[in-house]
Amino acid sequence: MNEVITCGEVNTIFLLLLGFTLSPFAFIQRFHRNKIHVNLSHRYQITENISSLQTLSPIVAFHSVFLALYLGALFMYFAIDFKFSPKQFAIYLESVQLTPLYALTLPIAIVWTEKYVRKTTQENRRKAIELTGSEAANHYFTIFETAAGKNG
């Protein structure tokens, strides 16, 4: 069959291809423009996220230590192949599970973490108050880069 393509169909195909080609570029340009012009609430959110990560990182590490001890003891049971009865196995699991110790020491870790973060924040504010002009801007970006480096 000899099918004839009309000028309108060619224009429609051309416009569709043009739209599919240019729309990603428009999206990328808008994304780039939004990335450059960050408003104050976005900066505040980033600052709060960094602060939250600084607070949570030691707590996560603390939890990981207790979890690693428990999983190590559980792995040791299967690796060494202890000959425990089900009752003895339950006693073994309860003796190596550190949840009560974790519950007692977690508040101490949280208080210590809050004091450490507060002290670090106060030192950064004190340093920023002492600086003027471009020194203050450089200090701000230095703090921002080190905080992002620790968390990223």
Please state, in angstroms and rounded to a whole number, the distance separating the CA atoms of residues 45 and 43.
5
pLDDT at 151 over 60: no
Instruction: List, for residues 68-101, the tens digit of each pLDDT value.
Output: 888 888 888 778 877 888 888 888 888 887 778 8
What is the predicted pLDDT for the residue at 59?
80
What is the predicted pLDDT for the residue at 7?
65
Lowest mean pLDDT among 10-19, 121-130, 138-147: 138-147
Please state, in angstroms and rounded to a whole number, the distance separating the CA atoms of residues 19 and 32.
20
User: Which residues does 82 contact at the CB level (< 8 Å), separation at least 6?
Assistant: 92
User: Which residues does 96 contact at the CB level (< 8 Å), separation at least 6?
Assistant: 69, 70, 73, 74
Please state, in angstroms and rounded to a whole number, the distance separating the CA atoms of residues 14 and 50.
48
What is the predicted pLDDT for the residue at 135?
67
Quick one: average pLDDT of 46-67?
Answer: 81
H runs (alpha helix) in 37-98: 40-80, 86-96
Find the distance separating the first CA and the last CA of the chain, reported in whole Å.
62
Instruction: List, for residues 116-142, the tens digit of each pLDDT value.
Output: 878 887 887 777 676 666 666 676 677
Task: Calculate the alpha carbon distances from 90 to 77, 84, 97, 99 in Å.
Answer: 12, 9, 11, 15
Contact 124, 147 (CB under 8 A): no
Please state, in angstroms and rounded to a whole number, the distance separating the CA atoms of residues 61 and 151.
13
The model's confidence at residue 21, banded by pLDDT at 50, 70 and 90, is confident
